[in-house]
Amino acid sequence: MRSYYLILTAVVASGLTAAPAVMQDMSAGASPYDVVDAWGKPFAPSGHAFGATTGVFAESPDRIFVIQRGEIRLPDPVPPGFQGFVGSIGQNALEAGDNRVWRNSIYVVDGGGNMIEAWTKWDEMFEGGAGPHKVKISPFDPDRKVWVVDETNHQVHAFSNDGEELVMSLGAGGVGDDENHFNRPQDLAFLEDGSIFVADSENARVVKFDAEGNFVTTWGTQGSGRGEFDAVHAVATDSIGRIYVADRNNDRIQVFNETTRSVWYHPNISPIATWPGFEFPNDIYATGYDVWIADNMPPRMVKLDWNGNPQFSWDASGEGPGQFREIHQFSVDSEKNFYGAGNVLGRVQKFVPKEGASFMETFGAPDPALQ
């Protein structure tokens, strides 16, 4: 199997992949998942609801990290039909305004959706901004540091796995486009050697750091050509060394390969594929087998093969159970359950595969090579 990976990598890097089909022409099938009813259990004091839920990461089936843009103070009296999230009473969680309360911006739930950890000591870090943006743990990190992207303060933070310590921060704060600054970072991804890629959105680039947080290289400029970006919203890596970038305002995914130029370590990032036809792609889940994209106009999940050819898609748009007005981040656990963070409706949802669902239509468990 490993030799097959190497052959495939060589083929992809040579540019011999077939051109992917246009995503808009892909018909959507029925969702192969059942949503777990009322999974996220309210934990706020009476009169409050979840805020804009921007991120979710399943470290295991019984430890799921959730980040949100504070909580939202509800109207008094609470309108009828309230189901624990503001979308159920017709409010947009992104428009909380003065009703936002900076509390429980980072928390952890168990497999039943019950809060088991509240990281409230870090709430003040996000005040005055838009709150945390995405959350990740590197599969290669024995310490299981928890990384949180702080978009409007232009930093990326790594916390100890128990949330007690701030271990590392990338970005000096404030806007910039040099080695030490970002402009609205959105996401991050990792390599086996501990390297870190940061999606630096408004600078239209991806920035690479080593495991100690030292700057290594950067690539990308503003534009719509090959290797150019307009709003870098997600970055992901797979087990065969490719780097996937959600070039959101260009409605596409770009794929890159990293090589070394000399006996001294000097990375060369090369564009190897462009997958067009998306509408507002927000997040990417990649393994050595397939690639999933959270597309958002309208919200849908799209599965592609290694070469970017669409394999399956299902419509996730709406406001009912199992639906989204925007899928901002999603995660998959080792039992193949998946979790979606909906920042407009203000909730995170858990999904389980339907009985008899085809493996061709569902997420695989995280690649063992990435665990």
31 vs 219: CA distance, rounded Å: 37
Q: Which residues contact 359 (CB under 8 A, 6 or more apart)?
A: none
46, pLDDT greater than 90: no
Domain boundaries in the chain? 2-370
Q: Give percent of the chain with pLDDT exceeding 90.
A: 79
139, pLDDT greater than 90: yes
pTM score: 0.91
Residue 77, preceding bond cis, omega within 30 degrees?
yes
CATH 2.120.10.30 applies to domain 2-370: yes
- Tell me which residue of 281, 341, 269, 340 sits closest to 310, measured CA to CA: 281
> In this structure, what is the dihedral angle of CA atoms 24, 26, 31, 37, given to the nearest 10 degrees?
0
- In tens, the pLDDT along 269-317 reads 899 999 999 999 999 999 877 899 999 999 999 999 988 999 999 999 9
